[in-house]
Structures are given as C-alpha cells and as structure tokens.
Structure 1
Amino acid sequence: MCESLKNTYQICEEIGRGRFGTIYRVFSPATNEFYACKTINKTLLTDDTDRECLQNEPKILSLLSPHPNITHLHALFEDDDSLHIVLELCQSHTLYDLVLHQPVSESEAASHMQQLLSAVAHMHRLGVVHRDIKPENVLFDSRGRVKLADFGSACWLGEEGVVTSVVGTPYYVAPEVLMGREYDEKVDLWSAGVVLYTMLAGMPPFYGETVTEIFEAVLRGNLRFPTKVFRNVSMEAKDLLRKLICRDVSRRFSAEQALRHPWIVNRGEAT
C-alpha cells in the first residue's frame, strides 16, 4: 500500500472488488470522516484502452467535481504498482440492490431518474461520456441522494464529438456501440432509459441466456411493455422510455430534454 496514502488515511476493511482492483473504507484523522479508496492494480492493465481509462478516470472526476449527483474526488495517490483514488463514501447498497427483488414506485423512480439525468447533463455539457451507466454504478450517499459512480470507462468526446471503441455492459449498452459505429453522448441516454425501465419493471427490456443473445436483443431494440408488468405504469413514463430507448439517435432525447419531460417535472405523479 502506498506510504503517502497510509500516512494520510487509516486503511480499514475491503468494501468492494472490481476487474482491476479493490475498494477499501479509509478514515481521515484530519477531517474525522470516512472515505472510499479505489485501488487500481496497474500491473493488470494489459492494453492501451485500459491504461488510457486509468489515466482518464481521476482527470474526469476532477473536472466533474463537485456535483451533487456525482461521486466526489477527494485525493489521488500513485506508486509504482497502483493508483489510489479517494472518493466520498456512499451507502453499501446500490440501485441494483434496490431493484433486485421488485420494481420501485413511479414517484421514487422519477426522483432517482431526475438526479441521474442531472449528473448526465452535467457530464455532457463538459464533453464527457460515461459509457457504463447501469444500476450497479448508481450509488446513494448518507442522505439518500443519487451518486453516479465508476468513471473507469468514461471518455472525452474530443474535437470530432464522436468515439468508436466498444465499451459497456450487455443489458445497458446502446445498439450503435455494438454495431461498431461512431457514437456520441446519447449512448448514455439509452443506458439511462434501460435503468429507468429496470426500476419500473424489475427487469431489463432486453435479455437473453448468453451475452450474444442479449446483444442480439439490444440490436433488435424491440421495446415492449408487457401488460402483466406495466399494467399500472403511466403513459407518461412509457412515453419517456420510448424517447430514451430509441434506436434512431437523432430522435433520442438528450439529458436536457429528458429533464424537461412532464413525467420528470411532475416527479412521476399523474397530470
């Protein structure tokens, strides 16, 4: 463990683990507060894309902070083997844990969605695309506010305003990413739409027994609202879902448009 980190924080228990590293709870005697430390093992980064993401994540977090709905970067430490990113400590459960067993109410879904879209709109204004929005990356702080996390796949759009690399999670990735086409920030809105669908239905709109089958379902993009599941879901919610989970990127809502949608404005209440 990095000496500078150990001199600044007390390292506590492991609270999470990912593909390239581990998340620890740490304590700062200077502030008398706990934080989360994401320790990334640089020796596990095997290609240029992984290394670029490693370099970009703290830069992007620094650019985006502070925002009430994005995990706040507190400190950064690096040694020969690892990068240590110290972030605000959120609750142990994620949005995924919340929707794992049953759907949430429209008012609760609208509240979570408004906060998520606020984070996405802020990112996009600064030219950042998250590229891995999913319930597991939607956290909650100690006050219950939504916090978008894990910017390990995020990137800047650059001068052309498009990127091409295939990044994302099967259930939530936009079809244009899978097609290998150039894409822009609207991939995040497709993913956010799938998150909203999952909140209201308790399951994603596109699924399969294998990753290949899931990708095929995403590429077909046949959005359905099964009566058994959506019987009590409002027309306004379904309208927003259609405008987010829209194969035609030119017609797909931006984050700003979604924030102005009546279902979001009215917090999921019938008008």
Structure 2
Amino acid sequence: MSDIASFEQGTRRFGRVNWLGLLTLCQREIQRFMNVWTQTLLAPLVTAGLFMVIFSIAIGPRRGDVMGMPFTTFIAPGIMMMTVIQNAFANTSSSIVIAKVQGNIVDTLMPPLSGGEMVLGYLAGGIARGLVVAVVIAVGLGLVLGVWPQHPLVMLAFVLLGAAFLSGLGIVAGVFAEKFDQMAAITNFVVTPLAFLSGTFYSVEALPPVMYEITHLNPIFYLIDGARYGMIGVSDSSPLLGFFIAVASVAAINVIGWRMFARGYRLKA
C-alpha cells in the first residue's frame, strides 16, 4: 500500500513539483478574474480611456511636444503600463486578503503546495490579467491614436515584468494585511504614489534635481519608461538598464513572498 502511495505521490510531483496543484491554483486565479470581467477587465479600460480624454482635453493642446512626441502619444504608454500594474497588484492582493478574511485561505494552505508553487500560482493570475489589459489597451491606442508598438518584444517584456513585479508586491501586501482597511492603506499610500510619481504623465528630465534622483530609485519608473520605449521608441533612461533593474526587482519581491508562504507568516493561526 505504501508503495502505491509513494508511486502516486512521485507521479504527481514529477520533478519535485506538484504540477497538478500548481496548475489548479493557476486555473483558479485566472478563472477568478475572468468570472467578473466587467469589473476586472472592462472597468480598468474605461478608466484608462478617461485618463486619455481628460489629459488630452485639459493639457494636450497647450502642452506641446514632449521628447519630440505629441503629449497624448507620450503619456499613452504610461497610462497603459499604470493600468497593467494596478490590475496585477489588485488581482493577487485581493485574492489573498479575501481568502484570509473569509477564512478559506486554508483551502490553499492544506494541499501539498510549496511556498514557491503558491507564489507561481498567484503570479499566473496577476500576470494573465495584466497581459490581457495591456493587449486590449494597446489595440485601442493603435485604432484611436494610430500608435502601434515600435518595439513589440521590448514592450511585451516590460509588460510581463511589470505585471510580475506588482503581482509579487500584491502577494506580499496580501499576506501582510489582515483586513481590508490595511490593504486599502497599502494601495493608497504605497502603490498609487509609486505609480503616479514614476514618469507616467511627464518626462523626468523636467523634474528638479532632488525629485529626479528620487524617481530613479523607483522601480516602477523603469517599467513605465521601458514600456514607453517599446511603444513609441523614446525613453528617459537606458531600456537595458531598466530591464536588469526590473528583473532584479521581480526576483527580490517574489523571494520575499516565497519566504512568507514557506514560513506561514500571518497565514497560519
């Protein structure tokens, strides 16, 4: 009997990975946001469109060109990337916090999933949601503004890195927060300022020296700047430097999330 159990366990964890459990968690996280697509996909697209309309009407005609690009064209990639990272963060953080508040986080903790497998499962949902949002907004920008990606592979790389970074940050925030108001505080006082103060609506070359240096410490700046290069071919910093900083940021934040799951930090009573 023990030999049969050992065989089944070995098959299910082929290569020391619980593929069945991992794929099930990935499917659950993706299906979770797809079931309420009007809230998780349509609403962010409407918000991004409103940003474009408001800035175009209020500032666009008087602002002139930025780095040789019309103002509306310049801010379009930033708005797209900001929407991607906000949705990636919301997907993982809300999934974990809701499960903790409702008391069903045990359904995720009881299966034989390692900390790394849980991180990958939650990341799949956040990255998938961010990628879908990015594709739809990019198509909309192309049809409405005639702005199509000049370096599509570069843009795709930064979109995936941005979604992975904010999904990882959402995992850390979701594990840390014990109730909804704590999660709201992290969103309002950490994620939103980092996203808005990262060159989304302006070139950092126009900032005072102190703010210029502070902005370059913000990893989201490199994500937005890299996406802008991929979309319209201009950037405030080297896309290669931004790529390496983004990769390092993704690795660092997800290692923290892995350690939290592995230790059961604020998850196990």
Name the larger-Rg structure: 2
TM-score normalised according to structure 1 size: 0.27
TM-score normalised according to structure 2 size: 0.27
Structure possessing the higher relative contact order (Cα contacts under 8 Å, 6 or more residues apart): 2
From the two aligned structures, give the one with the greater strand fraction. Answer: 1
